[in-house]
Chains A and B, each alone.
Chain A
């Protein structure tokens, strides 16, 4: 297990290095780095000084090393728009995005597992077919359009829920969160539902497919032959075995939730990282764009690593197969 963890950590490091090089080449080599890193409103003297200061007159590989060094020290430049360190800006916005993504994931799991089980246990029933058709709809519905429709119905016509912002936040261990107050929950409800739809459909389909496959296995037949109740067969034997792919996908999807939050946050004016990146792209606040990309890449690598480790904890077969190699 230890060998596996160490090897997996090393792999992650290589990917992180490769991605940082890609982001570096993307931002520094495509187009003029002066435009990207220096405030476009700066005058000629400032530009000269900045080119020297940033070492843009040095060869590319040397620049990359400097960039890496600074990035490791947490210095990813200052935002033009807010004139604060870019990384600070992103860290400030991170809790909002994480809260939104977590809420969406919870909705997807709490609704998706039972619905998927139902559809898997009775695939030919009317309810089973309806759940599956609904899940196709969940895959097909464009997130941003559903968001607009939610606003139209619940904010404009019914006037039940607020259409934008995070509402008042409460401090929880020093982190501002929305879900602890009623007003905050009302603000959270629509964006979280919107973001959850795709994953809800995914969890339903995974659970259904897993259940159908598990029901054909010998251990289920054996459990039935032992005279176990249906509840126990499904709740213990089936659920445990379909947990592996579901946990993997849910874990990996958490990353994509953070990415898709870009859309949801833009629609509901949710003050998270996603709205920040769109605003930054619109005003060409490039240090923030670079910092966002690096932060999100790191986040993804960490998530992938955690999922892989969790996977090997859940499924001894993976661990054993890996220990042998």
Chain B
């Protein structure tokens, strides 16, 4: 529903980021009490949804687990000396043969503690997802800004390629690339970047086109600032909000895609088991009722993706004033 009182706040939202990018004025991050900064308003708006806050908390917990995996895991799942084949395929909660250890989430076919394997798997899945997203973000930002700022043939060429690429599903493009390139962490990151750059390029281009026609850019141009300064100090910061939203959602998509490709046997090599590979390993034992080898890594994957999507969903609503109905 639309209320008359809402209109000014919407305008304020659109204008607010421009203030921090005014030439010569450094953005003030910690102003006096009660003053509303874009960052504070975003944080307050974000906190309005408890679901999104829960998502953020869950994601931070998962991130902590991934970072601290070597410290908090009961076992190093890659160290074959620590594994005992006699412990293989134990049910969740079972004790190891020597009675020293409890496998809270069971063990896989090599006697590996699933809890530790999941902690390490999260590390790899998150690492691949985040680094692929950052690379794609950098590439997409560069190409999108170039398209918007240079225009003409450069614009046409970049956006045509992006259009054509976006008309094919991500999994198909990644599959083709991996079929040609082979396996490996670097290859899967290349495939994920190739899949994702177009989203950023498109988003940043449309944002940059809108921003470019605004007065502060005109003012910067009028001041005869160098083009690089206009692009990086004025245009880029103001194009970021929609890009951040896309990036959040794309991290989740990248993690899911990597897991899917690994499950299909096209992603990561068996020496670096991500969550997808763990699930794939358990698939063989699924039909004999040994559900835990696939089930728990899947829960971890799901929790990661859901938490990121919850945060992304709320960020989209907060950062996009048009959707605030």
Q: Which residues of A contact B (CB under 8 A)?
A: 15, 18-19, 23, 26-27, 30-31, 133, 136-137, 139-145, 148-149, 151-152, 155-157, 163, 212, 216, 252, 255-256, 259-260, 262-263, 266-267, 277-278, 281-282, 289, 293, 296-297, 300, 304
- Given A18-B164, A262-B264, A300-B167, are A163 and B325 also a contact pair (CB < 8 Å)? no
- Given A136-B310, A289-B179, are A142 and B264 also a contact pair (CB < 8 Å)? no
Asked whether, in the complex, the Cβ of A212 is within 8 Å of the Cβ of B325, the reply is: yes
Asked whether, in the complex, the Cβ of A145 is within 8 Å of the Cβ of B279, the reply is: yes
Contacts of A277 in B (CB 8 A): 175
* Cα–Cα, bound, A297→B164 (Å): 11
Contacts of A289 in B (CB 8 A): 179
Q: Which of B263, B279, B295 has the most CB of A within 10 A?
A: B263
Interface residues of B in 253-271 (CB under 8 A from A): 256, 259-260, 263-266
Partner of A141 from the list B171, B302, B310, B313 (CB cut-off 8 Å) is: B302
Which size bracket describes the interface of B in this complex? 35 or more
Partner of A140 from the list B51, B252, B282 (CB cut-off 8 Å) is: B252
The interface stretch among B104-112, B137-145, B202-210, B286-294 is B286-294
Partner of B298 from the list A26, A148, A252, A255 (CB cut-off 8 Å) is: A148
The 6 closest A-B pairs by CB, nearest first: A256-B169, A145-B298, A259-B169, A259-B172, A140-B305, A140-B306
Name 11 interchain pairs, CB-CB below 8 A, sorted by A: A139-B309, A142-B302, A144-B279, A145-B298, A152-B286, A163-B287, A212-B325, A262-B264, A281-B266, A293-B176, A300-B167
- Given A27-B180, A156-B287, A259-B171, are A15 and B298 also a contact pair (CB < 8 Å)? no
The smallest beta-carbon distance between B157 and chain A, in angstroms, is 12
* Cα–Cα, bound, A252→B168 (Å): 9
* Cα–Cα, bound, A139→B256 (Å): 10
The smallest beta-carbon distance between A123 and chain B, in angstroms, is 9
Asked whether, in the complex, the Cβ of A282 is within 8 Å of the Cβ of B286, the reply is: no
Q: Which residues of B contact A (CB under 8 A)?
A: 1-2, 51, 164, 167-169, 171-172, 175-176, 179-180, 252, 256, 259-260, 263-266, 276, 279, 282-283, 286-287, 289, 291, 294-295, 298, 301-302, 305-306, 309-310, 313, 325
Asked whether, in the complex, the Cβ of B309 is within 8 Å of the Cβ of A136, the reply is: yes
Asked whether, in the complex, the Cβ of A300 is within 8 Å of the Cβ of B168, the reply is: yes
Given contacts A145-B298, A277-B175, A300-B167, 8 further A-B contacts (CB under 8 A): A23-B176, A136-B306, A143-B260, A144-B276, A144-B279, A148-B294, A255-B169, A262-B264
Contacts of A18 in B (CB 8 A): 164
The smallest beta-carbon distance between B200 and chain A, in angstroms, is 19
Partner of A142 from the list B167, B265, B301 (CB cut-off 8 Å) is: B301
Contacts of B51 in A (CB 8 A): 133
Asked whether, in the complex, the Cβ of A216 is within 8 Å of the Cβ of B2, the reply is: yes
The smallest beta-carbon distance between A157 and chain B, in angstroms, is 8
* Cα–Cα, bound, A188→B51 (Å): 36
Asked whether, in the complex, the Cβ of A15 is within 8 Å of the Cβ of B287, the reply is: no
Partner of B260 from the list A142, A152, A281, A282 (CB cut-off 8 Å) is: A142
Q: Which residue of B lies closest to A141 (CB)?
A: B302
Contacts of B302 in A (CB 8 A): 140-142, 145
Contacts of B287 in A (CB 8 A): 151, 155-156, 163
Q: Which residue of B lies closest to A286 (CB)?
A: B179
* Cα–Cα, bound, A141→B294 (Å): 14
* Cα–Cα, bound, A282→B289 (Å): 27
Q: Which residue of A lies closest to B323 (CB)?
A: A209
Q: Which residue of B lies closest to A129 (CB)?
A: B51
Contacts of A148 in B (CB 8 A): 279, 282-283, 286, 294, 298
Q: Which residue of B lies closest to A277 (CB)?
A: B175
Q: Which residue of A lies closest to B294 (CB)?
A: A148
Q: Which residue of B lies closest to A255 (CB)?
A: B169
Contacts of B309 in A (CB 8 A): 136, 139-140
Asked whether, in the complex, the Cβ of B260 is within 8 Å of the Cβ of A26, the reply is: no
* Cα–Cα, bound, A15→B291 (Å): 46
* Cα–Cα, bound, A266→B175 (Å): 14
Partner of B301 from the list A145, A151, A296 (CB cut-off 8 Å) is: A145
- Given A155-B287, A212-B325, are A281 and B179 also a contact pair (CB < 8 Å)? yes
Q: Which residue of B lies closest to A157 (CB)?
A: B289
Asked whether, in the complex, the Cβ of A149 is within 8 Å of the Cβ of B179, the reply is: no
Contacts of B2 in A (CB 8 A): 216
The smallest beta-carbon distance between A310 and chain B, in angstroms, is 15
The smallest beta-carbon distance between B293 and chain A, in angstroms, is 10
Asked whether, in the complex, the Cβ of A30 is within 8 Å of the Cβ of B180, the reply is: yes
Contacts of B282 in A (CB 8 A): 148
* Cα–Cα, bound, A139→B252 (Å): 10
The smallest beta-carbon distance between A318 and chain B, in angstroms, is 17
* Cα–Cα, bound, A256→B325 (Å): 31
The smallest beta-carbon distance between A300 and chain B, in angstroms, is 6
Q: Which residue of B lies closest to A145 (CB)?
A: B298
* Cα–Cα, bound, A46→B258 (Å): 39
